[in-house]
Chain A
Amino acid sequence: MKRKFSVILSAIFLLSMVLTACGGNSNSDASPSQSSSPPASTPAETTPASTEPASPEPAEQGDKKVEIFSWWTGAGEEAGLLALIDLFKQKQPDIEVINAAVAGGAGTNAKAVLASRMQGGDPPSAFQVHGGAELNTGWVAADKVSPLNDLYDQEGWKDKFPKDLIDMVSKDGNIYSVPVNIHRGNVIFYNKKIFDDNGLKAPTTFEEFFKVADALQAKGITPLALGDKEPWTATMLFENVLLGELGAEDYKKLWTGEIAFDDARVVKSLETFKKMLTYVNKDHAARNWQDAAQLVAKGEAAMNNMGDWAKGYFTTDLKLTADKDFGWVASPGSTGTFMVVTDTFALPKESKDQATAKEFLKVLGSVEGQDVFNPLKGSIPARVDADASKYDVYGKATIEDFKKSKLTPSMAHGSAAPEGFTTQANQAINIFVTQGNVEQTAKALKQAQESNGMKK
């Protein structure tokens, strides 16, 4: 009896061993981090889920689906995404849409999930990516996305998006993604009341900026609000100084390595940046960008350099009125240029149903799609022929600026340089904010430029 029992037991163990070994094998064959992908995306699980409710309908219809990957889970952006999905459903009622948005970390979590899904051969149908280096030195270089030239030709998009913008999402003549929105990075938001009360005019050059800052400081008002608990805000301020000092053309050359980071003008930018930092609020390291914007909203500080998502924060969260409570101006020396932060959608090469995914990209790139998404998100459309009447006073002015200005990519938001450079630049700037060592920072940036392959 006992013997039989032990035989059965060992049989069970052998079986379980085989099973665990199989599990181990299949797991190690795929990506090690595959388990972190949302379960809804594995084909085995989605197929029964989608065919069951669709059983009364013809089987073909349940087969078409498109999975949209983004990090749009915040208030305005999620509303925009859902409106976009609704619009798509009206146009393509046969295609099921899966919203695979990953929350948190300003896209960091989403990017980590995306990386493991792409490397594990289980990509979504279309995914959000910042135009520029994040797309080109990342996914395009990894040969993971499909070119979309045929889509652009078919839809006649090539003259509907600005050329500078198409260049930003292209590499070697191939276009790789569809821009959906535009944010501007080189904006100084200022408290109108403070400026009016003190008879000041918003500064457009560095000289004017420091004059205004001195005047404000003399009155006991913090001239510039900064919240660099997350270092990218300081990096953003620095890149706008670079843009102001170098001008659009030479600013772009930094990212191709044609101008090195120990160039005299970069050193001068660091000096200017350092001087600007003497005018910021003392507790900048304890604040995030919203906290800094709040200082301006409450009238405790006069100016704040932030991307124009701060406008959404002012109007939606703090209930301020554009052009009445707060004003805006291009950051010093950068009038006529437009620091672009653009969300685009790309198509993974390994995605199974490319045709269906392209249907979604068509809606995304259409005037209708852009005008349903952007007013909700608080950004402006990437197309030049969108309907400006749907946007508020800030949006209208920015749409005009966008058409006229030279477009430059933002480094702080991954459009100008590889992620590796941005990480190291954030580090160098974070140290610089406290230590103020110009020479050492220029050296660190140059080193990062070289080690990330940003050469001629």
Chain B
Amino acid sequence: MNSLRSTEQSNKTGVISAVTVHSSRRKSDKLVPLLMLLPSVAAIAIFVYGFIAWTGYVSLSEWNTLVTDFSFAGLDNYKFLFQDFRFQSDLRNTLMFTVLFILGAMVIGLFLAVMVDRKVRGEAFFRNIFIFPMALSFVVTGVVWQWILNPTTGINLILKSIGVNNVPNWFVSTDIVPKIHVGQIEFGLPVAIISVALAAIWQMSGFAMAMYLAGLRGIPDDLREAARVDGASERQVLQKVILPQLRPITMSLIIILAHISLKIFDLVYAMTGPGAMFVTDVPGVYMFETTFRGNHYAQGAGIAIIMLLLVSLLIVPYLVSNMRKGEG
């Protein structure tokens, strides 16, 4: 009896288990990758998004001394920042620096890539030379360019020896052109920021070249040949065939360079510091000094959040468009 019942049962369970195995395998197929991803998702959730939320929370607090004080301050820290001479200067400088840096690095990078793509002898040699500055740290670049552009020593000695009397003041200049009074500051291009952009362009145009070179190599020769057969001049080939195909590369490049430039800290800190009248100050430097020199933790957190928002203004549309493409 017993054995019969047990076999019956096992038969039943066998059927059931066969069914469950089938469905549970399907479930586990979905579950396993999910579990696989969970630890890293959890880590990122805590250590990236958790701390972003924490920074946001601190930025709304009164914690502006060594004594931790989490009483709610509303938007006071942000109000202070947007009325602050230094922060307004920072926003202007970041904007100007970003425009100069991206344009400079892209134009020079594209030029170098087109040149190197001409199948010149020793192509690898040139490629390496141009990309090498990227191997340096921004701090090194900053120190070196600070020496090069020092108005009393540096490159000005060479300029003077070849007869240029009106040597530029480089990063020491406090000129802003044109001077349009906005808020507390004069809006315009601070001449000193050109020097900083120059150093950054020097470092990153090799990277832009590498990206463009990859793009150029991805364009099949048939296309160029076809255009040439159709009677297009070399310039037309470049303008009408090659450049349009490089658009996705340009997009990626802008995103990568822009997020470097919006967060820039080390280059400026090593090269010029905040500069006279904050002509070369950037939010990163201000955040560091406010938080760790002035012990104004809440204000520092406010600057960090604003920097994050600036970068996300650029990154989020890019991510959204990428996601749409991924789905489609």
Docked pose: A138 CA to B297 CA in angstroms: 13
Query: Which residues from B are CB-within-8-Å of A434?
Result: 174, 276-277
Query: Which residues from B are CB-within-8-Å of A6?
Result: 28, 31-32
Docked pose: A113 CA to B295 CA in angstroms: 12
Q: Is A431 an interface residue (CB 8 A)?
A: yes
In the complex, the answer to whether B38 meets A13 with C-beta atoms within 8 Å is: yes
In the complex, the answer to whether A423 meets B296 with C-beta atoms within 8 Å is: yes
In the complex, the answer to whether B292 meets A20 with C-beta atoms within 8 Å is: no
Docked pose: A119 CA to B31 CA in angstroms: 41
Known: A16-B39, A419-B294. A430 touches B277 (CB 8 A): yes
**Residue of B with least CB distance to A435:** B277
Point out the residue from B25, B38, B276, B294 that lies within 8 Å of A420, measured CB to CB: B294
In the complex, the answer to whether A142 meets B66 with C-beta atoms within 8 Å is: yes
Q: Is A422 an interface residue (CB 8 A)?
A: yes
- In B48-79, the 8 Å CB interface with A consists of 50-51, 54, 64-68
In the complex, the answer to whether A20 meets B276 with C-beta atoms within 8 Å is: no
Minimal beta-carbon separation of A377 from chain B (angstroms): 23
In the complex, the answer to whether B295 meets A20 with C-beta atoms within 8 Å is: no
Query: Which residues from A are CB-within-8-Å of B278?
Result: 427, 430-431
Query: Which residues from B are CB-within-8-Å of A82?
Result: none
Report the contact-size class of chain B (Cβ under 8 Å from the partner).
35 or more
- In A364-385, the 8 Å CB interface with B consists of none
- In B138-196, the 8 Å CB interface with A consists of 146, 150-152, 171-172, 174
- In A1-45, the 8 Å CB interface with B consists of 2-3, 6, 9-10, 13, 16-17, 20-21, 24, 27-28, 32
Point out the residue from B32, B68, B171, B294 that lies within 8 Å of A119, measured CB to CB: B68
Q: Is B319 an interface residue (CB 8 A)?
A: no
Query: Which residues from A are CB-within-8-Å of B289?
Result: 423
**Which 7 pairs of residues, A with B, have the shortest CB-CB distance?**
A423-B294, A434-B277, A13-B35, A112-B292, A285-B276, A142-B67, A285-B172
In the complex, the answer to whether A108 meets B277 with C-beta atoms within 8 Å is: no
**Residue of B with least CB distance to A107:** B293
Docked pose: A16 CA to B275 CA in angstroms: 49
Docked pose: A286 CA to B145 CA in angstroms: 12
Main SS class of interface, B: helix
A residues with CB within 8 A of B: 2-3, 6, 9-10, 13, 16-17, 20-21, 24, 27-28, 32, 108-109, 111-112, 115, 119, 137-139, 141-144, 228-231, 282-283, 285-286, 418-420, 422-424, 427, 430-431, 433-435
In the complex, the answer to whether A420 meets B151 with C-beta atoms within 8 Å is: no
Query: Which residues from A are CB-within-8-Å of B174?
Result: 285, 434
**Residue of B with least CB distance to A138:** B66
Q: Is B85 an interface residue (CB 8 A)?
A: yes
In the complex, the answer to whether B151 meets A2 with C-beta atoms within 8 Å is: no
In the complex, the answer to whether A430 meets B274 with C-beta atoms within 8 Å is: yes
Docked pose: A283 CA to B169 CA in angstroms: 9
Q: Is B120 an interface residue (CB 8 A)?
A: no
In the complex, the answer to whether B294 meets A13 with C-beta atoms within 8 Å is: no
**Residue of B with least CB distance to A427:** B86
In the complex, the answer to whether B66 meets A115 with C-beta atoms within 8 Å is: yes
Docked pose: A286 CA to B280 CA in angstroms: 12
**Residue of A with least CB distance to B35:** A13
In the complex, the answer to whether A111 meets B292 with C-beta atoms within 8 Å is: yes
Query: Which residues from B are CB-within-8-Å of A435?
Result: 277
In the complex, the answer to whether A427 meets B296 with C-beta atoms within 8 Å is: no
Minimal beta-carbon separation of B154 from chain A (angstroms): 9
Query: Which residues from A are CB-within-8-Å of B293?
Result: 108, 111, 419, 422-423
Query: Which residues from A are CB-within-8-Å of B107?
Result: none
Q: Is B273 an interface residue (CB 8 A)?
A: yes
Known: A17-B39, A229-B273. A286 touches B294 (CB 8 A): no
Query: Which residues from A are CB-within-8-Å of B32?
Result: 6, 9-10
In the complex, the answer to whether B68 meets A32 with C-beta atoms within 8 Å is: no
Point out the residue from B31, B68, B152 that lies within 8 Å of A286, measured CB to CB: B152
In the complex, the answer to whether A419 meets B295 with C-beta atoms within 8 Å is: yes
Docked pose: A11 CA to B114 CA in angstroms: 55
**Residue of A with least CB distance to B154:** A286
Minimal beta-carbon separation of B284 from chain A (angstroms): 15
Docked pose: A342 CA to B245 CA in angstroms: 65
**Residue of A with least CB distance to B86:** A427
Query: Which residues from B are CB-within-8-Å of A430?
Result: 274, 276-278
Docked pose: A21 CA to B50 CA in angstroms: 13
Minimal beta-carbon separation of A100 from chain B (angstroms): 18
**Residue of B with least CB distance to A27:** B46
In the complex, the answer to whether A115 meets B294 with C-beta atoms within 8 Å is: no
Chain B 24-47 per-residue mask, 1 if CB under 8 angstroms from chain A, else 0? 110010011001101100110010
Query: Which residues from A are CB-within-8-Å of B146?
Result: 286
Q: Is B250 an interface residue (CB 8 A)?
A: no
Query: Can you give 29 A-B contacts (C-beta < 8 A)?
Result: A6-B28, A9-B32, A13-B38, A17-B42, A20-B39, A20-B42, A20-B43, A24-B46, A27-B46, A28-B50, A115-B66, A141-B67, A142-B66, A231-B274, A283-B151, A283-B152, A285-B172, A285-B275, A286-B150, A286-B151, A286-B152, A419-B293, A420-B65, A422-B294, A423-B294, A430-B276, A433-B276, A434-B277, A435-B277
Minimal beta-carbon separation of B101 from chain A (angstroms): 22
Query: Which residues from A are CB-within-8-Å of B38?
Result: 13, 17
Chain B 274-309 per-residue mask, 1 if CB under 8 angstroms from chain A, else 0? 111110000000000111111110000000000000
- Which one of B32, B65, B151 has the greatest number of beta carbons of chain A within 10 Å? B65
In the complex, the answer to whether B292 meets A13 with C-beta atoms within 8 Å is: no
Minimal beta-carbon separation of A117 from chain B (angstroms): 12
**Residue of B with least CB distance to A6:** B28
In the complex, the answer to whether B35 meets A10 with C-beta atoms within 8 Å is: yes
Query: Which residues from B are CB-within-8-Å of A427?
Result: 85-86, 278
- Which one of B38, B68, B276, B278 has the greatest number of beta carbons of chain A within 10 Å? B276
Docked pose: A112 CA to B296 CA in angstroms: 12
In the complex, the answer to whether B86 meets A141 with C-beta atoms within 8 Å is: no
